[in-house]
A = this chain, B = another copy of it.
Amino acid sequence: MTHQPRVVIIGAGFAGIEAAKKLGKHRVNVLLIDRHNYHTFIPMLYQVATAILYPHQVVYPLRRLFRGFSTVNFLQAHVEKVDFDQQIIQAENTTIDYNYLVIATGSQTQYLGVTGAMENTFPMRTLTDAIAIRNQVLSRFEQAVKVTNEAERIRLLTFVIVGGGATGVELAGSLSELINSALGKDYPSLNRDRSQVILVQSGERLFASYPEKLGKYTEKWLRRQGIKVHLNSKVSKVTSEAVYLEDDTAIFTDTVIWTAGVLAAIPQTKQPVKTATKEKILVEQTLQLCGYENVYGVGDVSYVESEEEFNGVAQEAIQQGKTAADNIRRQISGKIPLPFDYFNKGRLAIVGKHAGVGKIGKFAIKGFIAWFLWLEVHLVYLPGIRNRLGVLFNWLKYYFFGESASRIIISTNRVRSNK
């Protein structure tokens, strides 16, 4: 080859960084683009929202991650548009051309058409979201100390989580622990019975994508913690005062966290692309876009037909990122791309302190062992040895001494907007 081909990767999530690493190791020219200057370890975000971990512990600066890779460059930018025919992308007034493109932009929150949901609920996808939730929860307690009206105090101390998937369950369990342990000690004047965590799930059980008995186990565990679990309940409206269910129940609250829906986050494209469920880009078995063999779609943003049932988890994104990188290398050296072959390592989720659920191969596991495996697996995947030590330290502190990270409310009022 006379001319070194350039691979552009949009999105530095699980799929994007894996593809960049694999290509970088083989000295292929890569331009990795993300709107943040860090990679977000999304599965641990809820621990920032509930003050178990510090914000910096769940993200990793991308320039540092790729310091050792001389052919990988990073650009912090928001990609606005892709033109597959011209082979260019538009990002904040800059036009960037590519020989190969990997779209790894993940997913976004979807409000399922519920009135007022976008305006009045907290999403939970980014570091900024997690910090906002932490600020909200802590400042509701500070507010509750001040009000004299009892109904208003109860409203301030009611926290509603919409969505009974892994994120909703993890948040509910962890939030209730925060309130019972740390906040109980911080606000001795508040009657703890006044505070409640409510989990609203549209389906008939929690963890719909796990075996049924794990959903039951989780439900029991959460109820024992004092969490109110509403099953078969759809949210019909959210206002700044309350959340309304379809059966007309009104729950008065100042804090609704929305973990219910998910939608692919595709940048605008000049040429229409075929999409599947949740607006995901439909890709071939090789992860190439139908009709554009130099374009790949990987991770949460894409949909590949398969016997395996994909659930939009980090492992799928990681393995797809690797496959796309391998296939691009094959194409560069004149070979044909190979189909994606998923190796399901199993799944795990945390329910609360010393309790988890998981499915590994045919085995459903629950309780302490699932909890412990979750911590171990997530520690291993977290980038950076120093980061790992810090997280381990916070976990020991939290899980064994009941002391969470410092509960500071960082106001953003006086931050000068970025020009």
Contacts and interface: CB of A to CB of B under 8 A. Distances in A.
Interface of A: 36-38, 54-56, 59-61, 63-64, 67, 73, 75-77, 92, 94, 122, 126-129, 131-132, 135-136, 138-139, 142, 145-146, 185-187, 189, 240, 254, 386-387, 397, 405-416, 418-419
Given A126-B414, A128-B414, A132-B416, A409 B36 contact: yes
B146 A92 contact: yes
Contacts of A185: 67
Copies in the complex: 2
Contacts of A411: 36, 128, 418
18 contacts: A37-B139, A37-B407, A37-B408, A38-B409, A55-B408, A56-B405, A56-B408, A63-B407, A67-B185, A76-B145, A76-B409, A92-B146, A122-B416, A127-B410, A128-B413, A132-B415, A254-B419, A412-B412
B145 A75 contact: yes
- Choose among A56, A136, A254, A410 the residue with the greatest number of B CB atoms under 10 Å from its CB: A410
Contact of A61 (B254, B407, B416): B407
Contacts of A142: 37, 76
A128 B412 contact: yes
A76 B142 CA distance: 6
Given A75-B146, A146-B77, A419-B254, A408 B128 contact: no
